[in-house]
Amino acid sequence: MRTIPNPDRPQSPLAERFARVRDLSVALVAPLSDADATVQSMDDASPAKWHLAHTTWFLETFILRDFVHGYALHDDRFPFLFNSYYEAEGRRHARGRRGMVTRPTLDEVLAYRRRVDAALLAALPRLPEAALDLITLGCHHEEQHQELLITDILHLMSENPLEPAIWPAARKVPVEMPGPIGWIAGQAGIAEIGFQGEGFSFDCEGPRHQTLLSPHAIADRTVTNGEWAAFIAAGGYAEPRHWLADGWAWVQTQGITAPLYWEERDGGWTRFGLDGRRAIDPAAPVTHVSFYEADAYAAWAGVRLPTEMEWEAAAAPHDAAGGNQLDTAGPIEPRPSAGGPAFFGDVWEWTGSAYRPYPGFTPVAGAVGEYNGKFMSGQCVLRGGSCATPRGHARASYRNFFYPHQRWQFTGVRLAKDL
């Protein structure tokens, strides 16, 4: 199924972008059965079917319902099923019970998408600027859910004893193990941080403001699988002095001994991916590690994690659309760097910064003001995008955030040190 704008009407860049984004979501779930798309593997993950419907509910609610006179909801039961966390939109189905929604079926959800897409594209030429801004937000919102789709499908398949592959393995180009980490002297003194310029940004990326950076250096690459295997071999998961207190408690209670999806088989480390279980690539960036693990590795290495301010100052001159990011549905995996400091793609990079508002931050008015601000508690900031981040979605000021124990996303580690 493709979301094709009406060929008889000149198309705006926004209509074309909307169609591309919506088509990619459908392509990502193409290998799934209805059962695959319905099951929920843990409370942090959502069924693929729910992602498809929720992103459609967002568009139907905030654009068609609120800006198109006479629009009738596709199904007046769907707002309860597919609202995520918008308190202003009323009651909603419990997050941990999303896997119980066996109906509507995947085909019915895809029909819902088609109906909403057609209505939105038909209304587009007549919509006011405020609605167009919400369509742009809706595209970026769906791109976030595309990454969640991929990581939630990965977690689901890892729980299947058959460990099924969704896509074939990507063609491997042999890459030598990188040399020792190099260090880039970071900006020191007063720096400006936060989004500026034209184009889209989320409200949590601003306001742009000044911050003081102490003399420091930041690694020219992320930590590799081979380096992480050395950390394990050195007893990194068994030595409490490397760990924060909460991290050590998590390791002990959860029995953590390696990154998520790693297992020792036939005398070596393997990982599970959307191409099935395979030997780890020692030259590729380590991924699926928590903030606790990232911080412990840095302590073991005698350094630290960068602050988000240090990271942004270092990454700003680099191409945010470069690196290994998501372009099409297909093989998705972090891969060894082609050389040079790559700040974008492959793995999200944990920082040592708490996800808190910038000075002067004010949530936007209305229900969409719940998008970011109310989550600024107890979470840690990640930067840079991953192999599952749609290309063009991230930028130097982009602030991703997760709880310190979470690791089902493509999360990795870049080191920093004081000078």
Check whether 4 has a pLDDT greater than 90. no
- 247 and 191: one domain? yes
Q: What is the mean pLDDT of residues 366-371?
A: 81
Residues 211 and 288 in one domain: yes
Q: Does the pLDDT at position 339 exceed 80?
A: no
Judge if 212 and 358 occupy the same domain: yes
| Within-domain flag for 265 | yes
Residue 275: which CATH number? 3.90.1580.10
- Residues 390, 285: Cα–Cα separation, whole Å: 19
- Quick one: pLDDT band at residue 195, thresholds 50, 70, 90? very high
In the block, tokens 């966390």 appear at 85
Band of pLDDT at residue 171, cut at 50, 70 and 90: confident
172 pLDDT band, cuts 50/70/90, is confident
Instruction: Give the whole-angstrom CA distance, residue 116 versus residue 56.
Output: 7
Predicted confidence (pLDDT) at residue 365 exceeds the cutoff of 90: no
pLDDT greater than 60 at residue 279:
yes
User: Under 8 Å CB-to-CB from 299, ≥6 apart: which residues?
Assistant: 241, 242, 243
Task: Give the tens place of pLDDT for each residue, 70-111.
Answer: 999 999 999 999 999 999 999 999 999 999 999 999 999 999
Same domain, 273 and 336: yes
Q: What is the largest CA-CA distance in the chain?
A: 67
pTM of the model: 0.95
- Verify that 222 and 88 share a domain, yes or no: no
The C-alpha atoms of residue 58 and residue 66 are separated, in whole angstroms, by: 11
User: Residue 177 — pLDDT band, cuts 50, 70, 90?
Assistant: confident
How many domains does the chain divide into? 2
pLDDT tens-place string over residues 381-417: 999 999 999 999 999 999 999 999 999 999 999 999 9
Q: Where are the beta strands (DSSP E) in 196-318?
A: 209-213, 216-219, 262-265, 268-273, 276-279
Task: Kindly state whether residue 1 falls inside one of the protein's structural domains.
Answer: no
Domain for residue 167, yes or no? Answer: no
Res. 5 pLDDT band, cuts 50 70 90: low
Report the pLDDT averaged over residues 40-64: 98
pLDDT at residue 414, as a whole number = 98
Q: Supply the angle between the helices 13-28 and 129-159 in degrees, to the nearest 10.
A: 10
Q: What domain range is 377 assigned to?
A: 183-418
Dump pLDDT digits (tens) for 8-28: 555 799 999 999 999 999 999
342 & 216 share domain: yes
- What is the predicted pLDDT for the residue at 369? 82
Q: In whole numbers, what is the pLDDT of the chain averaged over residues?
A: 95
Tokens standing for 132? 């167009």
